[in-house]
Amino acid sequence: MKELVKQLVETYGPAGQEGRVRALIEGIIRPYVDASRVDALGNLIALKRGSGGGKRLMIAAHMDEIGVVVTHIDKKGFARFGRVGGVQVQTMVGGRVLFGNGAVGVIGWEKWLQSRGVPAWEELFIDVGATSPDDSPVRVGDVGAFLRPFVDLGKRLVSKAMDDRIGCAVVIQALMEMKESPNDVYFVFTAQEELGTRGAVVSAFGVEPEVGIAVDVTHIGDTPEARPMAVSLGKGPAIKVMDAGMVVNPAVKQWMIDVAEKEGIPYQLEVLEFGGTDARSIQLSKAGVPAGCLSIPCRYVHSPSEMVDYEDVQGAVKLLRKLLESSPSFSS
């Protein structure tokens, strides 16, 4: 599965530019699903029909990652940029970005070595090695993603875009491994989550699920002097109870707990004091959908080096697979 993760995280796909990730996923899952389509926002929606008697489930993992977008190229060829999603300013200076056309840029700061403070966004620029707008390989409107290779630390995996390619990997792996299921499962690889869970809004409207589950990363509280949070790397996937965007339907939460306990999968319960996931949008679709979220604990979220625990990932695959194979017994 590590090879799948590596392939996914190293593919270029900032929010709104998910085409390459989508093509990669489409190719991998085709033999395992009954039908698939791409909607107006670029969500990939694949259906695997069940044996009957189950529910219509929507499983969502988002394809997009955070990035930057060029808004201006000055006379000397330096590019100014805007943010695509929740990029953190502390991670920028000296970092590299990769554009869709293959161009690479270095992020510079007007006050480099002159100030000890945190940069203001307006003080940052991208140096693509150009000397004027004419010889710049990028144009206004071009979108860049962090450039950072995948690293296998053995127990732990590090890369940019773990948020949420690791979720995509978990969903793909569960799809490939799953046995017979009573449920019609819609596997939705969503677009533009980082811009406000936009892909999930429209895909949930189309799918009309009876139950929805997002698979996404969550924060942890186990690094030195971290803000207290009862989620750690290596203690299993997390079952979300609440985040800033939603309260998980208690019946969905209980279903996830019951399956985890029955299968002996270690898990953690997650209360996140900020953030939100696609589950929020699924819950609010049409007349309402019971929705939950299976979270993969992740350190340094929204930095170019997001770290997950491989056992947590495998636990998430198993839990998702067992959920898909089971019959959600609660009423909706």
Partner 1 sequence: MDVVSVLRQLSEARGLPGYEDEVRACISGFYEPWADAVRTDSLGNLIALKKGTRPAETKARSIMLAAHMDEVGLMVSGFEKGFLRFTHMGGVDPRTILGQEVVVYGQRPLPGIIATHPPHVLPPEERNKVVSYEELFIDVGLPEEELKELVRVGDPIAMRREFIELAEGYVSGKAFDDRAGVASLLVCLEALQNLQHSWDVYVVATVQEEKGLKGATVGAYGIAPDIAIAVDVGFGRQPGVEEKESIVMDGGPAIAKGPNIHPVMHQTLVEVAKRYELKHQLEIIPGASGTDAWAIQVTREGIPSALLSIPLRYMHTSVETVCIRDIERTGRLMALFISQLDESFAEKLGLGEERWMPC
Partner 2 sequence: MDALLKKLSEARGVSGNEEAVRQVILEAVREHIDGYRVDALGNLICYKKARRQGGASWPRKVMLAAHMDEVGLMVTGFNNDGTLRFGKVGGIDDRVLLSKQVLIGPDAVPGVIGYRPIHLIPRAERNRPPDFSKLAIDIGASNQAGAEKLVKLGDYVSFRTSFEVLAEDGLRTVKGKAFDDRAGCAVLVELLKGEYAVDLYAAFTTQEEVGLRGAKVAAYAIAPDVAFAFEGTICDDLPSKKDVSPVTELGKGPAITFMDRSFVADRRLVDLLVRTAEKEGIPYQFKRAVAGGTDSGAIHLSREGVPAVTVSVPSRYIHAPVSMLSLLDLEHTVQLVQKSLHNMEGGLGS
State yes or no: residue 13 binds partner 1 (CB under 8 A). Answer: no
Respond yes or no: is residue 193 known to be catalytic: yes
Tell me how many residues contact partner 2 (CB under 8 A).
27
Q: Is 277 in the site for partner 1 (CB under 8 A)?
A: no
The CA-based angle 235-238-243, given to 5 degrees, is: 135
H, E, C per residue of the chain: CHHHHHHHHHCCCECCCCHHHHHHHHHHHHHHCCEEEECCCCCEEEEECCCCCCCEEEEEEECCECEEEEEEECCCCCEEEEEECCCCHHHCCCCEEEECCCCEEEEEECCCCCCCCCCCHHHEEEECCCCCHHHCCCCCCCEEEECCCCEECCCEEEECCHHHHHHHHHHHHHHHHCCCCCCEEEEEEECCHHHCCHHHHHHHHHHCCCEEEEEEEECCCCCCCCCCCCCCCCCCCEEEEEECCEECCHHHHHHHHHHHHHHCCCCEEEECCCCCCHHHHHHCCCCCCCEEEEEEEEECCCCCCEEEEHHHHHHHHHHHHHHHHCCCCCCC
Interacting stretch for partner 1, rule CB under 8 A, among 27-35, 113-121, 130-138, 228-236? 228-236
Q: Which of 169, 201, 279, 308 binds partner 2 (CB under 8 A)?
A: 201
Kindly state whether residue 72 participates in binding partner 2, applying the rule CB under 8 A.
yes
| Site residues (CB under 8 A) for partner 2, limited to 204-233 | 205-206
Q: What letter represents residue 293's amino acid?
A: C
Annotated catalytic residue, options 26, 123, 180, 193:
193
Binding to partner 2 in span 179-198, by CB under 8 A: 192, 195, 198
- Output 155 or 227, the one with its CB closest to partner 1: 227
Q: Which stretch binds partner 2 (CB under 8 A): 2-10, 64-72, 225-233, 267-275?
A: 64-72
Shortest Cβ distance from residue 228 to partner 1 (Å)? 6
Q: Name residues contacting partner 2, limited to 132-151 (CB under 8 A).
A: 140-141
Contact between 330 and partner 1 per CB under 8 A: no
Residue 232 interacting partner from partner 1, partner 2, none (CB closer than 5 to 8 Å by kind):
none
Nearer to partner 2 among residue 71 and residue 223 (C-beta): 71
Binding mask 79-118 for partner 2 (x = CB under 8 A): -x-xxx----------------------------------
What is the smallest separation between the CB atom of 15 and partner 1, expressed in angstroms?
A: 22
Q: Are 145 and 160 in contact (CB under 8 A)?
A: yes
Could you tell which of partner 2, partner 1, none binds residue 102, using a CB distance below 5 to 8 A set by kind? none
* Residue 80: Cβ within 10 Å count: 16
CB nearer to partner 1: pick between 23 and 247: 247
Q: Which residues bind partner 1 (CB under 8 A)?
A: 221, 227-230, 241-242, 245-250, 253, 268-271, 273, 283-290, 332
The residues annotated with a catalytic role in the active site are 193
